[in-house]
Structure 1
Amino acid sequence: MVKCGLLVRLEAKPGREQAVADFLAAGLEMTNREAGTPIWFAIKLSPTTFGVFDAFANEAGRQAHLNGDMAKALMARASELLATEPSVEPIDVLAMKNQLA
């Protein structure tokens, strides 16, 4: 059961929008290797604003993700890709539906 998550907002530097989108798409491979990250979405909120929503069964999974390869890769490239520091918001999951068509 999913109990907690993260909502991360990323504002691309002017001209770096495609690089941010490409970075997030490539992040799927890193995140797939994280056993404690069962749900992960890379999203585009506007032409310059991107994000990640991920969810975890428990706090240990969330902390493992925050200390994992994807987070390290993002922070290593943040000054190159992002106009501002990433906004990382821990969230609690109140209810969830997960049914693929």
Structure 2
Amino acid sequence: MIKHALFVRLEAKPGKEQAVAQFLAAGLSMANEEATTPIWFALQLSPTTFGIFDAFTSEHDRQAHLNGPIAQALMARAADLLATNPAIESIDVLGVKNRLAHD
């Protein structure tokens, strides 16, 4: 059962909006390789604000994701792409409906 999640807010540097969008789109292939990350979304909240929402069945899986390849790639590119450090929030999932998902 999905109980644990992360929401990461990313603010692009001026002129880096497209690069952030491309980075997040490329992150899907890494997310697909993480067996312990069943839910992963890359989001655009405004022209300069982006986000990642992902959810997990355990705290262990959430921590593994925070130390995994997507997080490492994001931190390696953060100084170049982002106006501020990523804002990472651990959140509890109270309910889930996932009836249909498409690539």
Give the TM bin, normalised by the shorter chain: over 0.9
Looking at structure 2, the residues matched to 42 and 99 of structure 1 have their Cα atoms a distance apart, in angstroms, of: 19
Looking at structure 1, the residues matched to 60 and 84 of structure 2 have their Cα atoms a distance apart, in angstroms, of: 27
Length, aligned pairs only: 101
**Cα offset, 1:35, TM superposition:** 0.7
Query: Match for residue 60 of structure 1?
Result: 60
> TM-score under structure 1 normalisation?
0.98
Q: State yes or no: 1:8 paired with 2:24.
A: no
Identity of aligned residues (%): 71
SS at match of 1:20: helix
Looking at structure 1, the residues matched to 4 and 14 of structure 2 have their Cα atoms a distance apart, in angstroms, of: 32
Structure 2 unmatched runs, 5+? none
SS at match of 2:40: strand
Which residue identity is paired with 1:11? E
Which residue identity is paired with 1:53? F
Q: State yes or no: 1:95 paired with 2:95.
A: yes
TM-superposition CA deviations, 1:43-92 (whole Å, max 9, x none): 00000000000000000110010000000000000000000000000000
> TM-score under structure 2 normalisation?
0.96
Which residue identity is paired with 2:25? A
Structure 1 unmatched runs, 5+? none
SS at match of 1:10: strand
Q: State yes or no: 1:19 paired with 2:23.
A: no
Query: Match for residue 76 of structure 2?
Result: 76
Q: State yes or no: 1:48 paired with 2:38.
A: no
RMSD value over aligned CA atoms?
0.8
SS at match of 1:43: strand
**Cα offset, 1:37, TM superposition:** 0.2
